[in-house]
Structure 1
Amino acid sequence: MRTVGKWQASMGAAVVLMAQLCLAAYSFDDSGRFADAADWPSFAAMLERHRATAAELTACRADAQDCPGHLKRVRVVLERGATLTREQQMRLVNRFVNNRRYSHDRPRRMQGTHGETRLKSHWQTLGEFLARGGDCEDFALAKYFLLREFDIPAPDMRVVVAFDRSVGEHHALLVVRRTDADGAWLLDTDNRIHQRKPASVRYVYAVNEDGVWDHAPKRASSED
């Protein structure tokens, strides 16, 4: 019986290990970078509009009397998170943003070298998102902007759009580089901080205020 028990324990550990290996992690590899953020018109336009929100937020943090209504709760979040660790700040921001209203955007599609890719037609600034909610890309971007207020560097974060083959849908989340180990934290809309996603999830592209990365698998050329 002891031998059987040891075998069962060994098999259980193997199943856990295989499950972990079958999950998709995210790597901050720069090999897929193909454009500056300024080269994506809709994203660049959002960054330009966001400057006004950033200025409002700076004034709001300096003086509560200068804080417009839609930023008052943000001010509280930033004050509460000022002395927290990066992971604690992520959890705080993740919960705060995930309480906002979800709405759908109408993406456009573009035929490229890697097949049809879903592209977001309109990106919302943090202020726009706080006023009317948004879709999963807007949720991820709002988390990005709030964590930037905690001085997390732009190169340590990306809004990543992925395709889940199990449900046939695209989804976006924020990835944040880990400082205590290799890999990244994945902030999704379920209030959990993940390190990996199911193997059915394929990362398609990523973007932050500096650049755009293509994660689509390269297709073999006709000459191969």
Structure 2
Amino acid sequence: MTVFARILAILALLVGFSLPTFGAPKKIVMSGLFGSREIHSTNMKSFDKWTEMWRRHNLPHATAETPSAQPEGAPCRGLARIQCGRDAWEKFIADHANSSGFDLLEAVNEYMNKSPYIVDPVNWGIPDYWATPDEFFLKDGDCEDYAISKYITLKRLGVPIEAMRLVILQDENLRTAHAVLAVESEGESYILDNQIDAVMPHGQILHYRPVYSINENGWWLHQVKRFSR
């Protein structure tokens, strides 16, 4: 077993998210998110939940070009919640088409955080499910679902993929696994978190220990030698 495989096996026991098989590292950054050492790889084979989420999101019924089938004034109940949520999402995106920088991050974080938090075993009947925005509009979701919908919203608003990452981490205060979105803007990496509406620079958050992060171009293993700073 390689050193990287051993690290992943240990981390898999510490957090409730599945960890992938690490391919050949492409780049090592000594001071990354939350002060971690980052090892980058483009081997995405083991990220089934991530790739399956994108497959569902890209189905024709989930695209922004699908015309609204929800009559005006109809109640947003049952499956109609998807279209209601999508219509509201489209309006939000149109309203913020000219927004950028920190103001845009704050707006997206606050908008998505309005949805109720529901854990996957209750919502989907399985331990871990990564929802598309449509599924999030229908059934709400848990931490990675907020982060995914924020990622896709910012992508549609012109934020480059390489500036964003879904981060799987350990919340040292609550002693539980958690997920947030990290976005680089104007030379700073900001954290969009469903637990708070405030958008914070990653260096100001001391109780998160990153495990791995991912976007559409690759993923990063995070190593933290000392959690206290």
On whether the aligned pair clears a TM of 0.5, the verdict is yes
Q: How many residues align?
A: 177
What runs of 5+ residues in structure 1 fail to find an aligned partner? Answer: 1-23, 107-119, 219-224
Q: Is 1:122 the counterpart of 2:137 in the alignment?
A: no
Q: 1 or 2, which has the higher helix percentage?
A: 1
Matches within 5 A, 1:16-95: 26=33, 31-52=38-59, 56-59=63-66, 68-95=83-110
Superposition deviation, residue 217 in structure 1: 4.1
Q: Summarize the Cα distance change of 1:76–1:156 in structure 2 as closer, same or farther, 3 Å threshold.
A: same
Contact 2:34–2:208 (Cα < 8 Å) also in 1: no
Matches of 1:163 and 1:157, distance apart in 2: 19
Which of residues 204, 215, 222 in structure 1 aligns to 2:222?
215
Structure 2 counterpart of 1:186: 191
Q: Is 1:161 the counterpart of 2:168 in the alignment?
A: yes
Matches of 1:33 and 1:199, distance apart in 2: 23
The Cα offsets for residues 129-159 of structure 1, whole Å up to 9 and x where unpaired, read as 1111110011011100000111111111001
Superposition deviation, residue 25 in structure 1: 7.3
Contact 1:140–1:159 (Cα < 8 Å) also in 2: yes
Task: Tell which deviates more after alignment, 160-169 or 51-60.
Answer: 51-60
Which of residues 176, 181, 201 in structure 2 aligns to 1:195?
201
> Which residue type is aligned with residue 190 of structure 2?
W
Runs of 4+ in 1 over 4 A off after TM superposition: 27-31
Superposition deviation, residue 194 in structure 1: 0.2
Structure 1 counterpart of 2:212: 205
Contact 1:157–1:175 (Cα < 8 Å) also in 2: yes
Q: RMSD of the TM alignment (CA)?
A: 3.0
The Cα offsets for residues 151-197 of structure 1, whole Å up to 9 and x where unpaired, read as 1111110011111223211211111012x22x301111211110034
Larger Rg over CA atoms:
1
Matches of 2:211 and 2:49, distance apart in 1: 18
Task: Tell which deviates more after alignment, 26-35 or 150-159.
Answer: 26-35
Superposition deviation, residue 92 in structure 1: 1.4
TM-score when scaled to structure 2?
0.67
Identity of aligned residues (%): 24
The Cα offsets for residues 98-144 of structure 1, whole Å up to 9 and x where unpaired, read as 001211125xxxxxxxxxxxxx7321111111111110011011100
> Which residue type is aligned with residue 192 of structure 2?
L
Q: Summarize the Cα distance change of 1:38–1:129 in structure 2 as closer, same or farther, 3 Å threshold.
A: farther
> Which residue type is aligned with residue 103 of structure 2?
Q
